[in-house]
């Protein structure tokens, strides 16, 4: 679907670059394989994000500042939440940034567009860890990795992508569930998470892991430990205030009243839809018992060697 006011112009797409895969309804879906990610052609053609073929290269060679922070998460895992918390910690101010998270998102901008962001920058991405700038490893920059139980990620991303204009998901939840557990959205959740776990274990990157559920159940210790990781000195009162400002209700309100979405034209209605429920265990309202059991089987198999522990319920 065409979206008004494209921000970028996509380069020529050659026939040989296009893969055609069947969608759930037997129709043909056009995608491109970019560095192992399955990218719908519509995402590139729309011009609302930079041409990803070019941008993954630019991102790899991007010049980073010595104090840059990289926030990584699979989509719908709590990226906005942790981004806002991190910015309050680094600025030392109990204020929401007027800049939306999307303006600091690697795949939604070209690296040079981040030059205007004052230090200390917290850049964020849903790209796999291997696609981070090489300087992240070379300069041992701080990486925050946010995790959320994947059943809630399925439900949250389904609702979100139903509303997306650029590449909307038009099928049923059943169909979405099958795609999520097989191909994945750009990248399969299991592949993404296991790759991140390798990076955590390998110790080549300086990574701090945050679980959505821990942050939700007990925000103060989770924010405190993030602050220690980042070396942002602050007292308990300050941290308690961040937890309050960054509660679901607080962030939902800020998204309406504070964020300058007009300046950043990426589907502003959709951006406001980021705050849906903000709960743990909403998957129980959507998944059938059969789907849940099937997911458990896939999870047990794919994650059998993983030490990550997920909290699926309230
Ligand atoms: P739901 O769709 O389950 O409500 P991301 O920022 O990575 O896109 O993740 C979006 C998810 O995080 C949405 O989940 C959103 O509601 C939730 N979220 C955002 N801010 C939150 C907060 N302050 N507390 C709890 N959940 C939050």
The 10s digit of each residue's pLDDT in 180-209 is 999 899 999 999 999 999 999 998 899 999
Which two structure tokens, joined as six digits, stand for 69?
Answer: 């922070």
* Cα end-to-end distance, the chain, whole Å: 38
Sheet containing strand 69-73, strands side by side: 122-125, 69-73, 142-147, 206-211
Residue 3 has pLDDT above 60, yes or no: no
Active site residue 208: no
Per-residue model confidence as pLDDT tens digits over 21-77: 887 777 888 999 999 999 999 888 888 889 999 999 999 999 999 999 999 999 999
Percent pLDDT > 90 in the chain is: 78
Domain annotation covers residue 110: yes
Domain annotation covers residue 23: no
* Pocket lining: 156 vs ligand 1, CB cutoff 6 Å: yes
Distance CA 13, CA 53 (A): 10
Q: Which residue has the higher pLDDT, 222 or 267?
A: 222
Percent pLDDT > 70 in the chain is: 95
Domain annotation covers residue 11: no
Q: Which pLDDT score is estimated for 90? A: 98
Distance CA 143, CA 124 (A): 10
**Count of domains forming the chain:** 1
Domain annotation covers residue 51: no
Range of the domain at 142: 64-302
For a substitution probing ligand 1, which of 102, 275, 284 has the most ligand atoms within 8 Å of its CB?
275
Residue 9 CA to ligand 1 center (angstroms) comes to 31
Domain annotation covers residue 55: no
Residue 1 has pLDDT above 70, yes or no: no
For a substitution probing ligand 1, which of 85, 146, 155, 278 has the most ligand atoms within 8 Å of its CB?
278
The pTM for the full model equals 0.96
What values do phi and psi take at 94, rounded to 5? -90, 60
Domain annotation covers residue 261: yes
CATH number at residue 197: 3.40.50.300
Domain annotation covers residue 262: yes
Which two structure tokens, joined as six digits, stand for 101?
Answer: 């998270």
Domain annotation covers residue 16: no
């Amino acid at each position: 679907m065409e979206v008004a006011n494209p921000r970028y112009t996509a380069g020529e797409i050659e026939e040989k670059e296009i893969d055609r895969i069947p969608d759930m309804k037997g129709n043909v879906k056009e995608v491109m394989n970019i560095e192992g990610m399955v990218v719908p052609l519509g995402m590139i053609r729309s011009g609302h994000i930079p041409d990803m073929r070019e941008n993954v290269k630019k991102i790899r060679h991007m010049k980073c500042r010595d104090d840059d922070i990289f926030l990584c998460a699979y989509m719908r895992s709590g990226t906005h939440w942790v981004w806002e918390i991190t910015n309050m910690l680094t600025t030392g101010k109990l204020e929401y940034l007027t800049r939306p998270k999307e303006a600091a998102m690697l795949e939604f901008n070209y690296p040079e567009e981040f030059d205007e962001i004052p230090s200390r920058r917290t850049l964020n991405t849903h790209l796999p860890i291997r696609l981070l700038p090489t300087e992240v490893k070379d300069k041992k920059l701080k990486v925050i990795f946010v995790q959320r139980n994947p059943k809630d990620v399925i439900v949250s991303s389904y609702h979100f992508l139903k509303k997306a204009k650029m590449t909307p998901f038009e099928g049923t939840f059943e169909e979405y569930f099958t795609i999520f557990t097989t191909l994945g959205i750009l990248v399969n959740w299991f592949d993404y998470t296991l790759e991140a776990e390798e990076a955590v274990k390998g110790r080549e990157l300086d990574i701090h892991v945050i679980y959505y559920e821990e942050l939700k159940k007990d925000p103060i210790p989770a924010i405190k430990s993030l602050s220690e990781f980042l070396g942002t000195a602050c007292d308990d009162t300050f941290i308690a205030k961040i937890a309050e400002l960054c509660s679901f209700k607080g962030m939902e309100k800020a998204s309406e009243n504070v964020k300058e979405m007009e300046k950043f034209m990426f589907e502003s209605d959709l951006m406001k839809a980021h705050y849906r429920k903000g709960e743990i265990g909403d998957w129980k309202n959507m998944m059938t018992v059969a789907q849940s059991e099937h997911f458990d089987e896939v999870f047990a198999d794919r994650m059998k060697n993983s030490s990550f522990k997920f909290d699926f319920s309230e």
